[in-house]
Structure 1
Amino acid sequence: MKAAVLGAGSWGTALANVLAENGHDVCLWARSEAVADEINTDHTNERYLPNVRLHEGLQATSDAMSAMSESDMVVLAVPSASLPEVAPLLSAIPRHAILTHAVKGFVRPANRRISEYILEQDVALAARLAVLSGPSHAEEVVAHLPTTVVAASTSRSTAEHVQDAFMNDAFRVYTQSDLVGVELGGTLKNIIALGVGLIDGLGLGDNTKAALMTRGLAEITRLGAALGAAPLTFSGLSGVGDLIVTCTSRHSRNYRAGRLLATGQPLADVLTAIGMAVEGVGTTYAAAELARVHGIEMPITAAIERVLQGLVTPSEAVSRLMRRGKNHEMEDLAGQTLTVQWGLP
C-alpha cells in the first residue's frame, strides 16, 4: 500500500514509522523542509522524537501534494488548530483512498468534531473516513512497547482496512463502529489530564486524582452521549484507556501543562514552556461551550475553564468542586436520569 501521513510531529512521525515498518510505501509530509531533509538523510526527527532512529524506508517531503499523489491511504495527524489551514489539501486525496485521522481536539471557534469538520469539506469522504485513537504515546510506539488502539468508522471495510495497515506484533488495532465516541474519548480526556496535572502540582494526593479521573469520565460520557456517541464506548480503549495513560504518563503534554499551571505560571508561559500543542486547552473551552449549549453538567470542565481563564486559582477550583451539592453517584451518568432502587429504608 502507498500511504501519506500529513503532519511530522511526534504522533504523525510515529504512525508513519509503524506503516513503514509494516512494509508500506510511506511518505511523511513536514511543513519544514529542514525536518523532511533530516528524516530522509539521518532517519531522525530530533525535535519531536529525540534519540529515535526511524525506519530507513520512511520518506519525507515538504510538498503535501506530492506526498498524497496516488496514495491508497492518507493519515491526518496535525494539531486541531492547524486543520483549517490544512483543509484545502483534502480535495487532493485520491478518490479511492481512505482518510484516517488521528487528531485529538475540536476545530474552534465553531467547536466542530474533527470528522464533522472534514465531512463539511467533502461529504463524499464519509464511507472512506476512519479515526485512529487510544492509549498511545508516540515515544512508546516508536520504542515498540506493546500498544493497543481503536480504528473506528461507519464503514466496517474501512475500519478493517486501517486495522490491517497498522497492526503488527507491537501495535494491536481493534475496530469499532462508533466513530463519534472513539473520536470524543480521545479528545475529551485531555481536559481531565490537565486537571490531574493541577492536582499533582498542588500535592493533593492519589485519592484526589482517582476521584478526578472517575468523575471526569462521567462528564466525558454525559457530553459524548449528548453528541451522539454510545456511552459504552467510553469504557473502552479510546475512553478509560486513553484517560489513564494521558493522566498518568510523563509523556503527557496536558498533564505537564497542568502541573506548571499549579505553580501559578500564566497560561501563555506554560504553553511556551511545553513547546508543542497542548490540545486540552482548546478542548476545555470547546467542551464547556458545548455543555452549556446542550444543557450538560460538567463541573470539572467548568472549573478547569475558569482556571485557564485566570478567574480562580487551582486551589479555589478544587474547594468549589468539593462544596458542590449532594448527588447520587449514578444519577445522570450517561445523559439520562437513572431510577434509584433502595433496598432498605
Structure 2
Amino acid sequence: MSGPDLAIVGAGAFGTALACTLARSRSEPLVLYARNAAQVTDMRDTRVNARFLPGVVLSERIELRNDLTALGHASRILVAVPAQAQGEMIQTLRPHVGPECELVICAKGIERASHRFLSEVAAEAAPGLPISVLSGPGFAADMANGLPTAMTLASSDRARAEATAAALSGDTFRLYASGDVAGVEIGGALKNVLAIAAGIVDGAALGQSARAALIARGLAEMTRFAAAFGGKAETIAGLSGLGDLVLTATSDQSRNFRFGRAIGQGVPPKELSKPGQPLTEGAFTAAVACDLARRAGIELPIATAVSDVIEGRLTVGQATEDLMRRPLRNEDATFDQGPKT
C-alpha cells in the first residue's frame, strides 16, 4: 500500500503553515507528522492546531500522523523542527525513509553543541540522503492564510534545487532556486540575532533611525560572515538574507524581535529563556556565530553586543555605548572579508 510522497516533520507554527500552503496547491494528500500523540489526536478531531496556529482550518488533504511509518513513501520530507533538535529528529526518522528521500531543512540556526550549520548536521545524521535548505521571509500566519510569500530553496545540486523549488511552489508560494547552501543558511541564522538587536532598539526607545542603521550594519556583518564560510554576497542581498532580515527586524510577528524588545524594556534575558517561554532561535545562535567569527578572524559587533546582553556581560546601555564609540571607517570597505573594527 502506497502513501503520500510529501511529508512535513514538525507540527509547530511553521511546519503547520507549510502543510497548509502545500496542501492548497496539491490534489494529493501529504503527511504532517508530530511527535506528540495528544496533539495529533486533537488536530484530527478539530482540524485546527490550536496551540501553534489557532484559527487556521487544516485541509482534509493533510494527513495528521504520529507514527514514523507514515514517512516511508515520501520522496521529500520538510524538516520543520527547532534547530537544536534537528539532528536527533533526523536520526530518529532515518530508518523509516527511503534511500533517495530528499530532506529539506526548514529551521534557521546553528547547532550550539557542535557549532555546525544545519545542513552539516543533517548530512551526518542521514548519510547518503540529498539535503536541501528552505529559508527566507515567511511568517507562519501569512503563509497559512494564503498570503503571497517568496522564499529560497538551496541545494549543492542546482538542478535538484530547481526541481524541488518547482515542485513545492504554488499560486501563493514562490520559491527561488539557489546553489549557495552556505549563504542561504547563514542569512537565516544571522537574521534571527539581528532581529533580537532590532527588538532591543525598539524596546529601549532608541528610535527608527537607530533601527535603520542597525539593519544596514547588520547586513554588512551577515555578508562578511557568509564570505568567511563560503557564502555569496548576492545571496545575502536576496530573499534569504536581506529579505528575511527586513521582515523579522521590523515586525511584532517575529519571536526574535519580541524577545529583544522585552530585553530593551528591562526584562532580564534569563526570565525570557525559562521553560514554557516561546522558543527564540537567535538566542542560541548569537554566541555560536560570534565564536565562529572569532575563529575565522572577523568581527560581528552587533551580534557580539546581542550575545553579551543575553549572557549578562553588558547592559543594553553599555552595549549601545560600545557600538557608538567604535572607530569610524569607510563604508565602502565594510563588505570586505577579514578583521573589522
The answer to whether TM tops 0.5 is: yes
- Secondary structure at 1:291 match in 2: helix
**2:207 is aligned with 1:205:** yes
1:306-335 Cα deviation digits (max 9, x unpaired): 100111111111111001112111224141
Read off the aligned partner of 2:225 and give its amino acid letter: L
**Distance in 1 between the 2:316 and 2:176 partners?**
38
Aligned partner of 2:290 in structure 1 is 288
Q: Which amino acid aligns with 1:212?
A: L
Match of 2:41 among 34, 37, 41: 37
Residue in structure 2 matched with residue 250 of structure 1 by the alignment: 252
235-244 or 16-25, which moves further after superposition?
A: 16-25
TM-score of the pair, normalised by structure 1: 0.93
Task: Please report how far the alpha carbon of residue 336 of structure 1 lies from its aligned counterpart in structure 2 after TM superposition.
Answer: 5.4
Alignment match, 1:86: 89
Q: Deviations over 1:68-87 (max 9, x none)?
A: 11111111010011123213
Q: Is the 8 A contact 1:257 1:271 kept in 2?
A: no
Match of 2:269 in 1: 267
Aligned length: 335
Query: Tell me, what secondary structure is at the counterpart of 1:151?
Result: strand
Distance 2:275 2:251 in 1: 18
Quick one: distance in 2 between partners of 1:319 and 1:62? Answer: 51
Residue 282 of structure 2 corresponds to residue 297 of structure 1: no
What letter matches 2:204 in structure 1? L
Give the equivalent residue in structure 2 for 1:62. Answer: 66
Give the one of 2, 5, 10 matched to 1:7.
Answer: 10
1:156 deviation in Å?
A: 2.5
Q: RMSD over aligned Cα, in angstroms?
A: 1.7
Q: Tell me the SS of whatever aligns to 1:52.
A: strand
Deviation at 1:273, TM superposition (A): 8.8
Contact 2:135–2:152 at 8 Å: present in 1 too?
yes
Deviation at 1:16, TM superposition (A): 1.5
Are the equivalent residues in 2 in contact too, given 1:331–1:337 (CA < 8 A)? no
Percent same amino acid at aligned positions?
38
Which residue of 72, 75, 78 maps to 1:75?
78
Structure 1 match to 2:134: 132
Q: Secondary structure at the match of 1:277?
A: coil
Greater shift, 71-80 or 50-59, is seen at 50-59
| Counterpart-to-counterpart distance in 2, 1:239 and 1:72 | 28
1:98 aligns with 2:102: yes
* Cα deviations by residue, 1:254-303 (Å, 9 ceiling, x for unpaired): 00000111122222321349833200001101101101111111111111
* Counterpart pick for 2:330 among 313, 328, 331: 328
Range moving further from structure 2, 16-25 or 173-182: 16-25
Aligned with 2:166: secondary structure?
helix
- In the aligned structure 1, how far is the partner of 2:45 from the partner of 2:69? 19
Aligned to 1:343: none
Partners of 1:309 and 1:176 in 2: how far apart? 35
Q: Deviations over 1:66-107 (max 9, x none)?
A: 231111111101001112321312523311221111010111
* Among 229, 235, 240, the residue aligned to 1:233: 235
Contact 2:153 2:161 in 1 (8 A): yes
Post-superposition Cα deviations, 1:78-137, rounded to whole Å, max 9, x if no partner, equal 001112321312523311221111010111122110001111233412xx2111111000
Partners of 2:158 and 2:42 in 1: how far apart?
A: 37
- Matched residue, 1:119: 123
Task: Describe the SS at the equivalent of 1:51.
Answer: strand
Q: Which moved more, 1:29-38 or 1:189-198?
A: 29-38
Q: What is the CA distance between 1:59 and its match in structure 2?
A: 1.3
Q: What are the within-5 Å matches in structure 2 for residues 299-314 of structure 1?
A: 299-314=301-316
Do 2:90 and 2:126's aligned partners in 1 also have CA atoms closer than 8 Å? no
Distance in 2 (alpha carbons) for counterparts of 1:321 and 1:209: 13
- Partners of 2:25 and 2:171 within 8 A in 1: no
- Structure 1 unaligned blocks of 5 or more: 339-345
